[in-house]
Structure 1
Amino acid sequence: MSVVTRFAPSPTGYLHIGNLRAALFNFLIARKAGGQFILRLDDTDPERSTTEYADAIQTDLEWLGFEWDRVERQSDRLDLYAAAADELRDKGRFYEAWETPTELDLKRKKQLNMGQPPVYDRAALALDAAAKDALRTERGQGVWRFKLDHERIEWTDGILGDLSIDAASVSDPVLIRADGQVLYTIASVVDDTDMGVTHVVRGSDHVTNTATQIQIMAALGHDHPHFAHHSLLTGPAGEALSKRLGTLSLRDLRGQGMEPMALLSHMARIGSSQPVMLAGSMDELAEGFDLDHFGSAPTKFDIDDVWPLSARVIHEMPLEAVADEVAALGVPQDLAPAFWDVARANIGTRAEMADWWQLFRDGGSALVDDEDRDFVAEAFAMLPDPPYSAETWSHWTNAVKEATGRKGKGLFMPLRKAVTGRERGPEMADVMRLLQVKPQL
């Protein structure tokens, strides 16, 4: 059986860390099996779905290295959903209901007060044709609900194991709103069956949706895919991550200089029994990916854990990977290898390269303590004009030591701070050979 997976985001906002988890799991399953991965835009809400967000979703996924076999838009498939709705009506599994949100809320409160599960009471099924016509005249079109068979819905989940949900404890789901908008529950069913999707991985908050969709698929004469529900992400202290998702958009992380493979490597392992390891490619990630390693417990996510991994990606990156960016800074071609060797070990994002080249090109802003000012002035007077070599630092500091009697940290630290404007950084021999100007106080 050929493996087919999909990622079905709504183009109503930017992708965030929570979205990435579902996208990555489905992608890796397909990649490992040599199967197909479909990007399916859930854009049936015409008011909230925008081209801007649809384009942004694809841009974010491309930045991360995702590849898909095709893009589908649910707005192009409305006729298929309408045909499925007609089939459910013909089979007596679809009915119209007119309760207002206020009326439904009152019913739920009454049920809870009586110790009953707060599910829809199917009052609409008792309406005769005249009553339906009257409600349609008074309130307009109603919502369309799927009539669940009140039996246990059972499946073996790829992460959670054997699951069983009593359909009687679940409200008959609304599949079409009163304004005619087709909702996710039926659109996803039609798409998954029509596109031959074999595996669906999504958040554990979809477990009830899955139960109802299994029945809808059966009512339409289809088997269901292999479902798996990953745990939900929390903040580092176990707090709900939903409140922070606005600051964890993939778009913002890209803008902050996050390296894609660091983020992917982290997301592919957290919540599993496997340690986080930096992978070199999507294929390497896919090879080591297995849903069996994941558990049901909420998964703590801290973006601060990813930044060191992102810096490590840069530290291991060859010049060829950033040659265009180095050249764009104005680094001469003959200095590029030495510059990158120094820069990559001392930056956390690629954007920080510019600060180091500015220091080498224009000189640093001297950082000099008051008690060292005369010493630094004397030392700078002993430094010749560039070009400098890898030996310049040792020759210069030896001469300064002889002239001033300073040694050790008292000699080297003031000069490092004066030349670079920083207390830490690369070996000063490497700094000196890259300096294009004589340091100035």
Structure 2
Amino acid sequence: MTVKVRFAPSPTGKLHVGNIRAALLNWLFAHKNDGVFLLRSDDTDQARSTEAFEKGIQTDLAWLGLTHHEFARQSERFKVYDDVSEYLRAEGYLYPCFETPEELDRKRKLQRARGLPPVYDRAALSLSEADREKYRAEGREPHWRFKLSREVVQWTDLIRGDTSVDTASVSDPVLIREDGQYLYTLPSCIDDVDFAITHVVRGEDHVTNTATQIEVFKAVMAYRGEGTLPAFGHHSLLVGKEGEALSKRLGSLSIEGMREQGIEPAAITSLLARLGTSDPVEAVTDLSKLADGFSFDRMGRAPARFDMDELMQLNAKILQMTDYADVEDRLSAMGVDEQLWLAVRGNITTLNDAAQWRSIVEGEIDPVIAPEDREATDAAAAAVPEGTITEDDWSKLTNAVKEATGRKGKQLFMPLRLALTGQSHGPEMATMFARIGSKKAKARLSGNRA
């Protein structure tokens, strides 16, 4: 059996860390098993779906290295869904319901008031044909529900183990709206059967949905006369570092936004691949290596904590490992050469920080000199050699200041760093000193903007 998984976002918004984690887990599983990764655009909501969002999704996935083998678009398969839905109606799997949203809301409130679960009462099944015609004459069009078996549905979850849901505890799901628009479930199940999806891996918020969808799967396979029920896996959801819900923040955690912040794709995949597992989070730049160590057995059920600070630390580690040739096109656009890159890469969090160090070296800054440090910086200014300076000149300068002032350690080096760069932390000063140059260094050490 060839493993085949799918990632099926709706092109109604941008990808964020929550849904990209599902894409990554599916991709890693497929890659490890020499399988197929299908990207499916769930664009049945034509009013909200846009080509721009669809292209953005593909751009984000490609940037992360999550290349797909096959692509499908649901809006091109409406005829297929129509054919299956006709069969489901004829066989009694789908039944028409005429309640308005307000009527359904009143029913749920009454059930809760009586201490009952708000499960649809199947009142529509008691309607006569005359009743239905009356509603239609009033201008009401039905929505269509799938009639569940009201039995316990069981499966062995790839992550949660043996799992069961009593479908009597949930409402018959609405599969088709009054305006004829297909909701998520029916097209998804049809596509999973038709494209021979072997494993469906998604968030644990879909556990109850899976029980109802298994029954829809079986109905679709009965119509097709073939097909195999996929295996299901439900991973834990992401929460914030303090355990808070991420749902309100997901818009600010878009993949596009992270890319614009200068976060490396390997930092995102390294973190998301290991969150919620028993494996330590490590900076891994090769997706194949991440896939080799991937296993559902290592995934726990506790919520996975997403910490932006941890992501930034990973980003810094990855940049420390990055050769100039791997990012030359991006650095060249910033005016950063290999020598400067080698000097600053151990002291940056994002690639954009390298450009800031270039500005410090080649642009103008206001030196930071405390009154009590003026003696040391004046001595340093006097010790700056004329003409071209090298990294070796840095030790000569600091020795001269040490002799003139008696300073050593932090008291010696910090005032010089602040005067020359305006920063209290940063790359090795020998390289920075040589790059800043004699004229600019002398001016800054003298307290002048340069």
- Give TM class, smaller chain: over 0.9
- Deviation of 1:70 after TM superposition, in Å, equals 2.1
Alignment TM-score, normalising by the size of structure 1 = 0.95
Instruction: Give the counterpart letter for 1:344 in structure 2.
Output: R
- Deviation of 1:402 after TM superposition, in Å, equals 3.4
Give the count of matched residue pairs. Answer: 437
- Deviation of 1:386 after TM superposition, in Å, equals 4.1
Instruction: Give deviations 1:184-232, integer Å, cap 9, x for gaps.
Output: 1001000000000001101111111111111011112243200001111
Q: How does 1:76-225 map to 2 (within 5 A)?
A: 76-220=76-220, 221=222, 222-225=227-230
Instruction: Give deviations 1:280-317, integer Å, cap 9, x for gaps.
Output: 21111111000111122222222121110111000110
Instruction: Give the counterpart letter for 1:240 in structure 2.
Output: A
Does the 8 Å CA contact 1:363/1:435 hold for their aligned counterparts? no
How large is the RMSD of aligned CA atoms in angstroms? Answer: 1.6
Instruction: Give deviations 1:155-174, integer Å, cap 9, x for gaps.
Output: 11111111111111111111
Say whether 1:261 aligns with 2:266: yes
CA distance in 2, matches of 1:50, 1:141: 27
| Map of 2:234 onto structure 1 | 229
CA distance in 2, matches of 1:404, 1:114: 85
Which of 308, 319, 324 lines up with 1:303 in the alignment?
Answer: 308
- Deviation of 1:434 after TM superposition, in Å, equals 2.2
Does the 8 Å CA contact 2:238/2:305 hold for their aligned counterparts? yes
CA distance in 1, matches of 2:389, 2:165: 74
Say whether 1:377 aligns with 2:382: no
Instruction: Give the counterpart letter for 1:87 in structure 2.
Output: Y
Instruction: Give the counterpart letter for 1:317 in structure 2.
Output: T
Q: How does 1:399-418 map to 2 (within 5 A)?
A: 399-418=400-419
Does the 8 Å CA contact 2:4/2:30 hold for their aligned counterparts? yes
| Map of 2:61 onto structure 1 | 61
CA distance in 2, matches of 1:75, 1:141: 22
SS at match of 1:105: helix
Does the 8 Å CA contact 1:143/1:177 hold for their aligned counterparts? yes
Instruction: Give the counterpart letter for 2:420 in structure 1.
Output: V
Does the 8 Å CA contact 1:235/1:241 hold for their aligned counterparts? yes
| Map of 2:246 onto structure 1 | 241
- Deviation of 1:437 after TM superposition, in Å, equals 5.0
- Deviation of 1:366 after TM superposition, in Å, equals 1.3
Instruction: Give the counterpart letter for 2:360 in structure 1.
Output: L
SS at match of 2:137: helix
SS at match of 1:345: helix
Does the C-alpha gap of structure 1 residues 403 and 150 become closer, same or farther in structure 2, counting only changes over 3 Å? closer
| Map of 1:16 onto structure 2 | 16
Which of 283, 288, 301 lines up with 2:288 in the alignment?
Answer: 283
CA distance in 2, matches of 1:398, 1:115: 83
CA distance in 1, matches of 2:363, 2:112: 72
Instruction: Give the counterpart letter for 1:123 in structure 2.
Output: A
CA distance in 1, matches of 2:404, 2:65: 57
- Deviation of 1:362 after TM superposition, in Å, equals 3.3
List runs of 5+ in structure 1 lacking aligned partners.
Answer: none
Instruction: Give the counterpart letter for 1:202 in structure 2.
Output: R
CA distance in 2, matches of 1:161, 1:406: 66
Does the 8 Å CA contact 1:363/1:419 hold for their aligned counterparts? no
Instruction: Give deviations 1:136-189, integer Å, cap 9, x for gaps.
Output: 121431101111112111111111111111111111111000011111100100
Instruction: Give the counterpart letter for 1:308 in structure 2.
Output: Q
Does the 8 Å CA contact 1:388/1:435 hold for their aligned counterparts? no
- Deviation of 1:369 after TM superposition, in Å, equals 0.7
Instruction: Give the counterpart letter for 1:270 in structure 2.
Output: L
Moved more, 190-199 or 268-277: 268-277
SS at match of 2:374: helix
Query: Percent identity of the aligned residues?
Result: 50
SS at match of 1:207: helix
Does the 8 Å CA contact 2:159/2:296 hold for their aligned counterparts? yes
CA distance in 2, matches of 1:392, 1:6: 60
Does the 8 Å CA contact 2:376/2:412 hold for their aligned counterparts? no
CA distance in 2, matches of 1:265, 1:409: 36
CA distance in 2, matches of 1:407, 1:267: 45
Does the 8 Å CA contact 2:389/2:438 hold for their aligned counterparts? no
Instruction: Give the counterpart letter for 1:361 in structure 2.
Output: E
| Map of 2:391 onto structure 1 | 390
Say whether 1:355 aligns with 2:356: yes
Instruction: Give deviations 1:242-272, integer Å, cap 9, x for gaps.
Output: 1211221111111111111111111111111
CA distance in 2, matches of 1:189, 1:250: 28
Instruction: Give the counterpart letter for 2:219 in structure 1.
Output: A
Moved more, 310-319 or 360-369: 360-369
Instruction: Give the counterpart letter for 2:84 in structure 1.
Output: A
Say whether 1:292 aligns with 2:297: yes
Instruction: Give the counterpart letter for 1:59 in structure 2.
Output: T
Does the 8 Å CA contact 2:22/2:203 hold for their aligned counterparts? yes
SS at match of 1:300: strand
List runs of 5+ in structure 2 lacking aligned partners.
Answer: none
CA distance in 2, matches of 1:158, 1:351: 41
- Deviation of 1:375 after TM superposition, in Å, equals 4.0
Does the 8 Å CA contact 1:376/1:418 hold for their aligned counterparts? yes
- Deviation of 1:364 after TM superposition, in Å, equals 4.4
